[in-house]
Amino acid sequence: MKACIWCIAWKVLSVGMVEFDYSVIVAFDFDGTLTDSDEFGREACLSKKAMKYLRKIQSLDVITVLWTCRHGSSLESCLERLRKAGISFDYVNEDNGRRNSGRKINADVYIDDKANDGKIRWRKTYKRIKEIIKCRKLQMKKK
């Protein structure tokens, strides 16, 4: 099945018992991905198109992670601007160790302008995330 090429089944240790976790984790870069400029530290405008698709992706009931090099007051400023725009994330610069105990963020989808020559193909990315979710649901039915 075509959609399943995007999918990986993960096993997760839960408190006191083993369970299967089929949640899709999507990590978003901030500068240049969610903003109109990739100049780190510059207070660039939030991208209207990015905000539109971020909301659509969040409506798919995925786990969202803000994945950025920002820290300290720069990160707080970024989070405040997102809050004012009505955007929040499940995690910031972490995935709560759900699949990985190391410092590296673990996600199914990484959305970063640096991976796409500075241009995010939002509609295509949204469709791929929906394919991953569909595949995970099929995997759940097989269990």
pLDDT value of position 94: 84
* Contact between 28 and 34 (Cβ < 8 Å): yes
Residue 99: the pLDDT is 53
Show the tokens assigned to 140.
């759940």
- List strand residue ranges (DSSP E) for the chain, in order: 10-14, 17-21, 25-28, 63-66, 91-92, 109-111
Read off the tokens for 89.
């994330």
CATH code of residue 27: 3.40.50.1000
Return the pLDDT at 117: 75
Which residue numbers in the chain have pLDDT < 70? 1-22, 38-42, 96-103, 143
Domain total for the chain?
A: 1
Q: What is the pLDDT of residue 97?
A: 60
pLDDT at 6: 36
Residue-number span of the structural domain to which 23 is assigned: 2-142
C-alpha dihedral sign at 27, 63, 18, 132: negative
Structure tokens at 48: 């209207």
With b for 16 or more beta-carbon neighbours within 10 A and e for fewer, the 58-97 pattern comes to beeebbbbbbbebeeebbeebbebbeeeebebbbbbebee
For residues 102 and 106, give the distance between their C-alpha atoms in angstroms, rounded to a whole number: 9
Q: Give the pLDDT confidence score for residue 118 in this predicted structure.
A: 73
What is the C-alpha to C-alpha distance for residues 143 and 141, in angstroms, rounded to an integer? 6
Beta bridge partners of 63: 25
